[in-house]
Amino acid sequence: MSDLNNVIELLKKLSNGEVIDAPLPDDNLLDNYEKEINFCLPKDYRKLLKEADNIFYGTIELLLVTKEKKYPSELSLVLNEARELGLPEDWLPICEDNGSYYCLLPNGKVHYWTPDGYSNDSWEDLADWVEQVWINGD
């Protein structure tokens, strides 16, 4: 099992400062966002958003949490789209991948969800997902 602090630091190092032109969210924005989407963001996910939401590395990126909501990869927009496709109500998409989604589950695991339902790919926790999928591209 990976440590979230360590994988965030590794991700920052590997990205060489490459970031998306979006500000990192703070606790106030995340609190307001939770109310808006009616979803409690887990502690580890909040940490990842506050420290790495705008990092550009590899072929995937986290869904963005911004005040302006002007990006197509905005969490609130993607959450609505995914739910329309049948995403379970208690699953939270954290990354979109060609019409499928990496989702945080209530038990802390990350699961790859496809609209056709044919995926069993999952990771023990957010840190494992960051390391295996985002960093290593597995």
pLDDT score, position 73: 93
pLDDT score, position 93: 97
Whole-model pTM?
A: 0.93
Q: Is the dihedral of CA 37, 40, 43, 44 positive or negative?
A: negative
Residues of the chain with pLDDT under 50: none
pLDDT score, position 42: 95
pLDDT score, position 77: 95
Rg (CA), the chain: 14
Q: Which two tokens stand for residue 15?
A: 């990205």
pLDDT score, position 1: 54
